[in-house]
Amino acid sequence: MTEFNHNKKQKYQPNVSAFLAVCGRNYAHILKWLPDQFTVNEPWHVKGEFGTLLVNLIENTKYTQLIEISRPIASGHFFKSPKAVVRIYHDAQLAEVLTSQQIYRLKPVYDYPNIHMHQSDEKFQVNAFLEELLKIGARKVPCQS
C-alpha cells in the first residue's frame, strides 16, 4: 500500500514561457487596433463582432504605453464591467496586465491559501483573461469617440 502524505504541498512554479506567450499574443491583439496618433486621456472605442471595448491611453513613453481597457456592460447586471490596466512594451512586443478589477498590484506568485483568495497563478490567469477580452475587438473597425 502506498503512503500518501497530505502535509507535503508542491510549491507553485510559474511557467515563464507560457506567460510570455500569452503576453505576446495580447500585444499582437492590441496592435491590430492601436491607432497611430492618439492623445493621453482621450478614450476611444473598439467595436467588434462580440461587443465594444473602451480604451484609454494613460501614459505614453518612448518604448512603452499604459492603457486601460474595459468592456462596458449595460446596467442591471450582477457583476462589474471587466477592466484592466495594461503596460505595452513595444521593444519586447509584450502586453502585461498590471492591475485588474480590485487587484491593484499583481504579484508574480501568490501563496495559497491567502486572505484575498487569489490563485497561485493569478497573474497568468488575469493575462489569459485579457486575451479572451481582446478577442471582442478581433474583427472590428476602430472608431474614435
Label residue 140 by pLDDT band (50, 70, 90).
very low
Rounded to two decimals, the pTM is: 0.77
Question: pLDDT tens digits for 62-97?
Answer: 999 999 999 888 765 667 788 899 999 999 999 999
Q: Is residue 26 pLDDT above 80, yes or no?
A: yes
**Residue-wise burial string across 16-26, b where 16 or more C-beta atoms lie within 10 A, e elsewhere:** eeebeebbebb
The mean pLDDT of the chain is 80
Mean pLDDT score, 58-62: 93
